[in-house]
Amino acid sequence: MSSIDESKKFVPLNIAVLTISDTRTLADDKSGNTLAERLTAAGHHLAAREITTDDVEAIRGIVRKWIAEPGVDVIITTGGTGFTGRDVTPEAVEPLFEKRMDGFSIAFHMLSHAKIGTSTIQSRATAGTAGATFIFCLPGSPGACRDAWDGILMAQLDYRTRPCNFVEIMPRLDEHLRRPKAQGATA
């Protein structure tokens, strides 16, 4: 079980929130509001917030922009992870991942199963890293966003969480880009 090491100082992150919906606006975006409220209440900064339609290129364009932005440490999307014809978030975002985070999906489904039972299988929640940025794709319901934040992300995005957390490894996410090739390597 994880715990908070109170002797360590909290490190605020810059987190961008993208809502993917054909019908929502900022005025009625309950899932985006849930995430924005929770991350700022935890002490993080809302680096950016946008809404886009369920369109692969539109989603990919915003996520790519935020990956390239030095002022964005984490991207959280909400919406488009189901199975309908318009649900395309995993198809849009997963090709951008340098590394997949399969454990996130497993942990999310465990939390979700405890609340909604087998209906959790209707979500394709996913996560990974790209360009030294953590990316989490959540379902479009406020409850799923609350569960993911409260049950997983709040702790993993807190430097004080022990035994380990994502914040402490952030400086090493792009080390493969900074490290010179080993002498004699052919790849």
Produce one character per residue of 123-145: b if its CB has 16 or more CB atoms within 10 Å, e if not. Answer: bbbbbbbbbbbbbbbbbbbbebb
Q: Give tens-digit pLDDT for 115-170.
A: 999 999 999 999 999 999 999 999 999 999 999 999 999 999 999 999 999 999 99
In angstroms, rounded to a whole number, what is the distance separating the alpha carbons of residues 11 and 110?
28
- Specify the pLDDT at position 176: 73
Percent of the chain with pLDDT over 90: 88
- Specify the pLDDT at position 179: 54
In this predicted structure, the answer to whether residue 186 has a pLDDT above a threshold of 90 is no
Hey, what domains does the chain have and what are their CATH numbers?
10-173 (3.40.980.10)
Q: Which is nearest to 90 in space by CA: 62, 120, 144, 128?
A: 128
**What's the pTM value of the predicted model, to 2 decimals?**
0.93
CB 97 within 8 A of CB 130: yes
In this predicted structure, the answer to whether residue 175 has a pLDDT above a threshold of 90 is no
Query: Which residue type, as a one-letter code, is found at position 2?
Result: S
Quick count: other Cβ atoms within 10 Å of Cβ 167? 21
- Specify the pLDDT at position 1: 74
In angstroms, rounded to a whole number, what is the distance separating the alpha carbons of residues 166 and 157?
6
- Specify the pLDDT at position 174: 83
